[in-house]
Amino acid sequence: MATPLRCLVVDDHQLVAQAVGGLLSELCGFELVVVCHTVAEAIAQMERDCPDLLILDLDLPGERWQDAASALQRLNPQGRLVFLSASGDQFTPPPEYSSIVLGVVAKSRAWNDLLAVVHGWLRSADAVARPGSQGGNQAGELPLHRLSPRELRLFLALGRGLLNKQIAQEQGLTMATVETYRKAISAKLNLSGAELVRAAVLQRVAGLSHPPGRGS
């Protein structure tokens, strides 16, 4: 079974941090390691369990974002960093962090822009083949032939970033039915809930919407 990518969110606004973590978990299939409110907390957490993706607020009062970025670079050189900032594009990351920075996202456009940056990374080879991933089903290797046509449509809807409520509305199902289908799909593909969403996203970006031998 594939090991989901892990993310750590650092923001002094608890609701924002939790919302960002939930967004990445639900729509990108990440395992949320923890939400931290200070750089010191983040560094202590990274020393214990360094994430694959660090979401870091640039505007933490009295904090040095450089300390968190350097800790990620030291503890997991393959890790990646996304900055959240009130000033957005006005900030240019120093060149010494260019190898790990995916982008700078303005908080005013955080949801769409953050998803665009992260999905772009998921399409890249360094996000798909992570050191430490344990075998598992990568996009293109999933046994999608096991899914019924209805299950396949729901799986592809997950890959488009739709939430359960949106899938229910689009496909004329109840929320309970969508949840039942998701559990069945997870069992057939041998994936956890978070892994299922990530696999669906990767399947979509790989352009494999219709696997061989299956119709829509």
Q: What is the pLDDT of residues 153-193, one digit of tens each?
A: 999 888 877 888 999 999 999 999 999 999 999 898 888 77
Query: Where is pLDDT greater, at 18 or 98?
Result: 98
Please tell me whether residues 152 and 115 are part of one structural domain.
no
Q: In this predicted model, what pLDDT tens digit does every residue of 27-50 receive, in sequence order? A: 777 888 788 999 999 999 999 989
pLDDT of residue 115: 83
pTM: 0.60
Q: In this predicted model, what pLDDT tens digit does every residue of 117-136 receive, in sequence order? A: 888 888 775 564 444 443 34
As a whole number, mean pLDDT of residues 139-157 equals: 82
Please tell me whether residues 17 and 122 are part of one structural domain.
yes
DSSP string, 31-88: EEEEEESSHHHHHHHHHHS--SEEEEETT-TT--HHHHHHHHHHH-TT-EEEEEESSG
Q: Coil, helix or strand for 6? A: strand
- Mean confidence (pLDDT) of the chain: 81
pLDDT of residue 196: 81
Please tell me whether residues 25 and 94 are part of one structural domain.
yes
Please tell me whether residues 167 and 117 are part of one structural domain.
no
pLDDT of residue 143: 84
Quote the domain boundaries for residue 103. 6-128
Q: Which bin fits 28, alpha (ψ -120 to 50), beta or left (φ > 0)? A: alpha
Please tell me whether residues 124 and 89 are part of one structural domain.
yes
What is the number of domains present in the chain?
Answer: 2
Cα dist from 97 to 101, 103, 183, whole Å: 6, 11, 40
